Each structure stands twice: as structure tokens, then as C-alpha cells.
Structure 1
Amino acid sequence: MPPALRWAEPPEGPVVVLLDQTRLPTEEVELVCTDVPALVRAIQTLAVRGAPLLGIAGAYGVALAAVRRFDVEEAAAQLAGARPTAVNLGYGVRRALAAHQAAAANGATPEEAAAATLAEARRLHQEDAEASRAVAARGLALLDELLPGGSHRVLTHCNTGALVSGGEGTAFAVALAAHRAGRLRRLWIDETRPLLQGARLTAYEAARNGLASTLLTDNAAGSLFAAGEVDAVLVGADRIAADGSVANKVGTYPLAVLAKYHHVPFVVVAPVTTIDPGTPDGASIEIEQRPGSEVTQLTAPAPAGAAATGPGSGTLVAPLGTQAYNPAFDVTPPELVTAIVTEAGVVSPVTAGGIAELCARSRQVTIS
């Protein structure tokens, strides 16, 4: 699989290259972004997605503006506002912008300031890869502690693998570590309506890595719990508030309720950069509302060379004019979360005090 995101410098000038996730699993097609508006479109259409990777994309986007001599401040504003819920996007943008501003303030030439910005984006990319390795190890250790005896049957939602990360992912990286250790019996994969990130992306990554996995419709999860077939739930996060509330792909909260009722551990896996101390609680998290057409239509991945799909381009599955409710995320309160696993440590039970202590220990949490 090509990397989910990379910086390239062809003769015609530097670009940000993305693995277009809207084409998966049928085709592995790269999308080349030569300017910030193209990258913003890629973010908004979910060609690139996933909280940690959005942070990396945001940082490289600022670097792209600096290297190509675009307005860096304006580029940063466009990128930071592309998707409101995922805190990592703004974090990556601010880090790269701060590097550019610091270099300029110290008398750097435009070329030197651009180089400093790109170096910061690359640093963030490397940090996320290291964080991915650390959360995989910590997550597996927690699973073994919660579920002695191995042979774990894990349910996941949305996509949390290499497609969302500078490394092997967050929650998926834990399942992958369990697989490699011979302790993953089954990975249950929610399809993740309406855009099917579980079916299109997580099943794709599971197959590529040889995991024993089974895909299920989102509304089949309850029967799976009732049958005693789930040992733990592993999910990622797009924003974690100061009180431990977790915003993640819509459909996560019902899984947490099911897990609580059936006494199944519900574990959130995310880098520390996903924690936002400036958001006090779940009610303060801005939830992105997506187009209703994503619910009322089904859109298959476009073949290579075809025009990008958008509202009105799919097959109707509801009467024309039907109103649709389509939040991209929901919020799980901390009392339903067994543990939050980060590269800096595990918070369990999940409390505001535990989150604050974790942030105080981590050098990575610099979100203002």
C-alpha cells in the first residue's frame, strides 16, 4: 500500500501526495495537491482523513504554502477550518505556522523560513509514527491485562490504521499488535455508515495484514454483544475533551452503551495530540455536520481518471427531497470509557484529573 501521505519534490515544484481514500478499496490512486485549496478540498471530501493524519496534512499544507510562496497565514486559516471536530488538524497547522513565524522573526530569508516549516512538518510526521508504535504496545499490554488468556475478539468502528497515521494507526495498531503476537482471535469490523470507512478501509487494511476479520452492519453490533462474541471494543478519537469525553466517528457512542451493558471493556486509543485541554467537556465539542446526500445516496468509489464524486452523483436510496440527519461524529461520556490509551500512558478510570495528569507529563501537548 502506498503511504497515506507524502511530501514530494518533482521538477515542477513541491507537492503533497495523498493516497485517495475515496477510491479504496477498488483502486490505490494517488492524489497530487499542488496548492492549499486542493489540499483543503481533499480534506473536506475525505480523500485524506483520520485525526492524526489530518494533523500531518495540515502541517505539510502550511509548508507547501511557504515553499511555493503563497500567503502562509491565509493558508493556515483555510486548513485549520477545513474540518472542525478533529483537533489534530488545527494542532498540526499551528505547529507549522509557529515554526514559520519564529524563523521569520529571527531574520530568516523566505527560503530559510520555508525550510524550517517543512522540517517541523516532517518532525510531526515522525513523532506520530513513534506515537503509533507506543500506543500499539501499551494497548496490547492493556488488552492482556483486561482479558487474561489471549485469543481476543475485538470490535472496532470506522478506520484507525495506517490510513489515518504516520505509522500503523491507533486502535487498529493495537489489533495488529495482538495479531502479530498470536493473541487476536477475531477482529469484528463495523461497516460504519454512511461512508463505509469500516467496510472500504478497515477491511482493506485487515486483509492486507492477514488479520482474521469479519465485517458486520452497524446495527448488527447489538446481536454480536448479546451472543457473547465481543471481548473488547477498540476505537480511535477525533477529539478528547478535558473531562475525558471522546468525540469519534458517529456510531461510537451506541457501541459504548452496548459495551457498558454487556460488561465489555471499551477502550479509546489516540495520540496525546488528540487531547484538547481547551475543550472542557463533551458538550463543548463542535460536531461537524456532513451533507445529507451521504445518507440518502450510495456512491461507489470512482474509477481512475473519472471526475470526483459529490452530492447528486450517487444512487438514491431514499425518496428525492428526503431530509437527512448526518453528524460526522458523536460524543461518548467518560463514564462509558474503560481506558484511554496514549503513547504517554493509560488513563483509567477516565477522569478530568487523570487527563490533566497525563497532559502534564507529556511534552507533546502544546495545544493553546
Structure 2
Amino acid sequence: MAELLSIPRSVEWNDTHITILNQQKLPFQTEYLELKELADVWDAIATLKVRGAPAIGITAAYGLALAAQRYETDSIAEFRKLLQKDRDYLASSRPTAVNLFWALDRLVASIAHTSSVNEAKTALVHEATRIQVEDEETCRTIGEYALSLFQDGDRILTICNAGSIATARYGTALAPFYLAKEKGINLHVYASETRPVLQGARLTTWELMQAGIDVTLITDNMAAQTMRTKRITAVIVGADRIAANGDTANKIGTFGLALLAKAFGIPFYVAAPLSTIDLATKTGQDIPIEERNPEEVTHLAGMRIAPEGVNVYNPAFDVTPHELITAIITEKGIIRGNYETALPALFNI
């Protein structure tokens, strides 16, 4: 797939360090960072140098495996205590994306039956690598299912960046656009800029243009006008956590798009892997919503754009109620209707 090959990977394991694409610098600079310490990994996640729920999970998994390589103990019991401490530290980097906790807990579980420290160190690297490899295949499968919902010539709106650089490859909400390009199906993407950090403007448009995909950028407050005048046929978004009843946390602004889609009679799709589904969280009201630095709102490109001392509310995510979601697209298929029944059933397929 020549078009996708031009998109760099967001995370790579290099034995002594992790290499990440610094998404803070895009689209003006393609910079790679080497994360050599656990604190570097925590900072990269917290400051959005790496972002996107699957990519956060992959980075955290590699970060935990990297830290464990340096434990100076021959006691497997002591090794597990150190691992749990570092797991909890990395888990504190961001609260909303459940993939972070899922990946870390998967690594901890992977050494439950190891009998030596060396065996445990090897198992952790293998498990982290497996998470990344699985995510690439998962994203492609999600893309195939999502593409079945679209037709040649469709105009589709998205928000934030649920693409290749937010995952192992292909993305979730953006995966069908890569596959459409591969198959010669013409889809036009409208990307919301995604204030205040501009992931849509900086990242989604950048990676889609790299692959030669037809994309148009709009500001967030142009969504209703765009839906009405540009004949938008669907909205597709990613997710950071899906509750047991289908309520979905995603980048701030997603809930507004879902309300608009309902008003215009446009299908609203959520694309996400099973690792984003959190059956332990019953409804969207139980999902913790991260609030970020006020300067993300009061400043733009380092310059103040609001009065000094103004009060700021800066939630990074919102929750779309399940009744506004037409379908949830996963690697196990497309589900509709009663999510409270359908979501748990996916784990038995």
C-alpha cells in the first residue's frame, strides 16, 4: 500500500530506548524523540508528544518493559513489586483513555507465571511487541468493516486524529479512508480542526495529505454549515473509552457533532478496538474527564489570545450518549441497537 507507507510509525521499540514521532511538532517538523527513561515516557504521554488511545497504550507498554530491563534484583517477587510501582506511575499520566490501563495491566499479567527475572524481562518485551502487532491488524480489520458502510463519492466528517499516527498503523476512524484509497474508492474527508490543540488541523490533514487522500479542513464551528451545504453523508470518530452501555468518551467536540448528525439525519459512527471498551465502567457518567492546562485555550502558538486572568474551562474529552451513536465499529464487527448486550458479546466471538 504505497500511500500508507509514506506515513511514519508513531512508536518503535529499539532495545535500549523507545523512538516516537513527536506529534507536538507536526505538521511543520518531523521530529523523532528517544525515550530512555520512565519519566521520559510519562512526559511524552502527558504532554501529547504521543497521543491517540492505541498509541498511548503501545508506548506505555514499551515504557514499562524498558524500565523493567533495568531492575537490579534476582528476586521475582521483588521484580513484580517494582513493576507494579512503575505500572501505577505510568497509569497516572492521563486518566481518560482506557487503552493505557489495559496495556499496562496486560504486561503485568504476562509475567504472572514466570519463575525467573530474566524470563520475566523477556516476556514483557514480547508482550509489548505483541500489543503493537495486534493493533495494526486490528486497525486494518476495523477499516474493512467501516468501509462497508460507505459508498464511492461519500463525504465524511471526522474530528481529532484517529489515524495511523494515533495507532500502530491505519488508525481507527481514518482506517477506511486508507483502504478506500487502496481500492480506488473515492471518499472525501472533512476534518474538524479540533480546538484547542488542533489535532485535526495539524495531524489528520497532514497524514491524509501524505497518503494522497482528498481532505478539506474546517474549523469546529463550521460543522453545521458543512453538513448542510456539503451534503455530508456520515460522521466517523474514534474513541478513548466506551462504557458498558455504549456511551463514548472522545475528543472534546465529538458530542456536538453527534447532536448535529442527529439533527440532520446523518449516521454517526464510532470506530474503536475492543481494548477501548471498558465493561467495568457502566455509563459515560463514570468516565473521568481530563482537564488540561488553561494555556491551551488562552494561547495559540505561544501567543496569548485571551485576557490575562480570565477563567478557563478546558476539558480534553466529552461523552457522546449511546442513543446518538448509529453503530460502533470494532475488529469483531459492527454493532447497533442494544449496546449493553452487544458490547459484552463481542468478547466471546
The within-5 A match list for 1:14-29 is 14-29=16-31
What is the distance in 1 between the residues matched to 2:83 and 2:345? 35
Moved more, 152-161 or 220-229: 220-229
Aligned residue identity for 1:72: L
Q: Would you say the 8 A contact 1:239–1:246 is kept in 2?
A: yes
Distance 1:264 1:284 in 2: 28
Which of the numbers 123, 138, 143 marks the counterpart of 1:136? Answer: 143
Q: Does residue 274 in structure 1 map to residue 276 in structure 2? A: yes
Counterpart in the other structure of 2:10: 4
Structure-1 residue corresponding to 2:95: 84
Relative to the length of structure 1, the TM-score reads 0.88
Instruction: Please point out which of 282, 294, 319 is paired with 1:292.
Output: 294
Deviation, structure 1 residue 127: 0.7
d(CA) in 1 for partners of 2:270, 2:242: 10
Distance 1:102 1:20 in 2: 36
Indicate whether 1:94 and 2:105 are aligned. yes
Residues 99-248 of structure 1 aligned to structure 2 (within 5 Å): 99-103=110-114, 107-108=115-116, 110-144=117-151, 150-248=152-250
2:79: which partner in 1?
A: none
Equivalent residue of 1:188, what SS?
Answer: strand
Q: TM-score, normalised by structure 2?
A: 0.93
**Residue 152 to residue 180, structure 1, CA distance change in 2 (3 Å):** farther
Distance in 2, matches of 1:342 and 1:185, equals 20
Query: What is the RMSD computed on CA atoms of the aligned residues?
Result: 1.2
The percentage of counterpart residues that share the same residue type is 42
Aligned residue type for 2:267: P
1:72 corresponds in structure 2 to 83
Aligned residues of 1:62 and 1:97 also touching (Cα < 8 A): no
Q: Hey, what's the Cα distance between the residues in 1 that align with 2:173 and 2:113? A: 35
- Larger mean CA deviation between 73-82 and 350-359 belongs to 350-359
* Partner SS for 2:216: strand
Letter in 1 for 2:95: P
Measure how far apart 1:228 and its partner are: 4.7
Match of 1:328 in 2: 316
Matched residue type, 1:231: T
Number of aligned residue pairs: give it. Answer: 334
Give 1:345 deviation, angstroms.
1.2
* Whole-angstrom CA distance in 1 between matches of 2:248 and 2:296: 23
2 CA distance for matches of 1:350 and 1:193?
32
Match of 2:330 among 339, 342, 352: 342
Counterpart CA distance in 2 for 1:185 and 1:65 is 43
Decide which of 315, 319, 327 is 2:307's aligned counterpart.
Answer: 319
Deviations 1:134-177 (A, max 9, x none): 00111101224xxxxx2110101000111111121101011222
CA distance in 2, matches of 1:207, 1:124: 28
Residues 295-310 of structure 1 correspond to what in structure 2 (within 5 A)?
A: 295-299=297-301
Inter-partner Cα distance in structure 1 for 2:305 and 2:182: 40
8 Å contact kept, 1:154–1:175: no
Unmatched segments (≥5 aa) in structure 1:
145-149, 300-313, 362-368
Matching residue's letter, 2:21: L
Change (3 A) 1:252 1:350: farther
Q: Is the 8 A contact 2:177 2:187 kept in 1?
A: no
- 2:340 is matched with which residue? 352
* SS of residue paired to 1:31: strand
How much has 1:251 moved relative to structure 2?
Answer: 0.2
Paired with 1:191 and 1:91, the residues of 2 have a C-alpha distance of: 29
1:5–1:18 Cα contact (<8 Å) kept = yes
